[in-house]
A and B are shown apart, each in its own frame.
Chain A
Amino acid sequence: MITLLGIYRPARTPLHLAPAWLKMLMLLGISILSLATSDPVTSLGLLAACLLLLASTRPPLKATLKGMAFIAALAIMAAGFQVWLGDYVRALDLAGDLIAISALALAVTSSTSMAQMMDLVVRLAAPLRWILPPETLGLLVALTLRAIPEAAQILTEARVAARARGLERDPRAILIPSGARTVGFALQLGQALHARGIAEHGRSARAADREDRARADEAHAPLLAEPPVREAPTGETPEVPEPNRRGRRERRR
């Protein structure tokens, strides 16, 4: 089953209170430091510090252990290979690095809410605003979050249908319907967005005269959803819907 709940839990530990950019900077700095140094004492020190930081955020136990089990298996593989070669120092260093970085990454994830992380992403993406306006980024993230259960359901239904036909071993019977339905769902969603005038930034930037025509069109149509958020160089907010809708209602009477 697919859950959208990560390992973040609200709490008031020091790492929870630290700003997201500081935590990301710390993760980056310590990752580079631990990869650059090959001294086992430093490595083990960093490992202990990172594990303590992870424990200090009081993450959910089961999910954290699951997350660490994978990296621990890899670390044991890597260290085992070095021990096999007879290089115990390198084994300690490598395994320490691997576990330290992932423990720190888990600590950051478990102490930073999705909203804080998204704020950071939006701020980092600010230089790209000519290609990707921040509103579009937010819309993309929101749509993706909503579409994950939908995509999972499409996959599950295709599987059930394939099993009902006795074709559960045939990947085509599962994946062609789910792929086609996914695209179909996306196209319907796109039409719904288009119909509501959401995410039409590209068109507004395309040509000024067309924009004027679009605005004229808009004045006629009663808006059912949020008014389109344009880049709005003038900063004016379209306040079309209220008087328009009232006018139409009166006309109907």
Chain B
Amino acid sequence: MAQHRALTGQSIALVAVFAAFIAAASQVSITIGVVPITLQTFAVVLAALVLGPWRALGAVTLYLVMGAVGVPVFANHVGGLAILTGPTGGFLVGFLSAAVVVGALAQLLARTGRLARRGAATAWLIGAGLVSIPVVYAIGAPWLAVRLGWPLLPPETCAGLFDKDCVSGLTVGVVPFVPFDIIKVIVAGVVAAAIHRAYPGLLGSARRATGASSRDDEDEAAHATA
């Protein structure tokens, strides 16, 4: 019921635009240092940090539905079910749970007033965003390992980088990507802090900060656009 009441024009617009933002970001890569990386993870974490759990879940779900329906919104300009059913589909499904977990943490931060202070807000948001990494890989890595026929964990006998015992979901599917994910999450935290500074009240924090007694969604919208 709480969710139904939250289906205002503002929430609907935020969910739809962030689904579109994730779609656009999945196809754009920017260069950090020398390595080009796509912005998909960044956009998902940003949506969670900006929108809170339910709207972020809506945005990510909508993004996946658009992809499943056939709009080419996944990385590589390939749309459709092939990506979702493929071995890397687990990472996309993992985004769903990550959106809820990170969004809930961000909302908690907003409710407890931790987003009000400028320097601390960035650190808190980055911290919340970092939680997304284990959540995404908890679903994505086993899925990848099963589909590619790798063991999930490297066995005890694993000795060196080119030892064939060492090929596993963890060493090939997770470890090489984690540094980039950490960079993306840090950037997402910085951007989310800037967005919360520019539009306070997206997570309902302005209501608390200003002590306004109104409980209406329109007022929240007014704060957000003020």
Binding site for B on A (CB under 8 A): 2-8, 27, 31, 63, 66-67, 70-71, 74, 77-78, 81-82, 84-85, 90, 94, 97-98, 101-102, 105-106, 108-110, 112-114, 117-118, 121, 130-133, 136, 139-141, 143-148, 150-152, 154-156, 159, 168-169, 171-172, 174-176, 179-180, 182-194, 198-203, 205-206
Contact = CB atoms under 8 A, between A and B. Distances in A.
A144 B191 contact: no
27 contacts: A7-B78, A74-B148, A81-B167, A98-B86, A108-B80, A112-B70, A136-B12, A140-B15, A144-B17, A148-B73, A151-B25, A169-B32, A171-B32, A172-B190, A175-B30, A175-B39, A180-B199, A182-B21, A183-B14, A183-B198, A184-B198, A187-B199, A187-B221, A189-B16, A194-B8, A194-B218, A203-B8
B150 interface: yes
A202 B191 contact: no
A182 to B, nearest CB: 5
A4 to B, nearest CB: 6
Contact of A101 (B18, B42, B86, B149): B86
Interface stretch (B61-69, B93-101, B126-134, B153-161): B61-69
Contacts of B112: none
Most buried by B among A70, A136, A182, A199: A182
B78 A85 contact: no
Contacts of A112: 70
* A interface: dominant SS: helix
Given A148-B23, A201-B7, A117 B12 contact: no
B42 to A, nearest CB: 7
Contacts of A121: 65, 68-69
A2 B27 contact: yes
A189 B9 CA distance: 8
B195 A4 contact: no
Contacts of B25: 151, 155
A151 B31 CA distance: 19
A3 B225 contact: no
Nearest to A186: B17
A171 B30 contact: yes
Interface string B47-77: 0001000000010001101101111110011
B33 A109 contact: no
Given A8-B70, A102-B86, A174-B30, A140 B62 contact: yes
A196 to B, nearest CB: 8
Given A140-B15, A148-B20, A183-B202, A198 B32 contact: no
A35 B28 CA distance: 33
Contacts of A131: 3-4
B224 interface: yes
A206 B5 contact: yes
Contact of A66 (B68, B78, B225): B78
Contacts, number: 261
Contacts of B79: 6-7, 109
A94 B148 contact: yes
Given A4-B71, A152-B28, A109 B12 contact: no
B161 to A, nearest CB: 15
A179 B194 CA distance: 9
A169 B31 contact: yes
B82 interface: yes
The 4 closest A-B pairs by CB, nearest first: A109-B80, A193-B9, A190-B10, A147-B20
Given A5-B72, A205-B4, A66 B32 contact: no
Contacts of A27: 81, 85
B87 interface: yes
B81 A109 contact: yes
A15 B190 CA distance: 48
B71 A139 contact: no
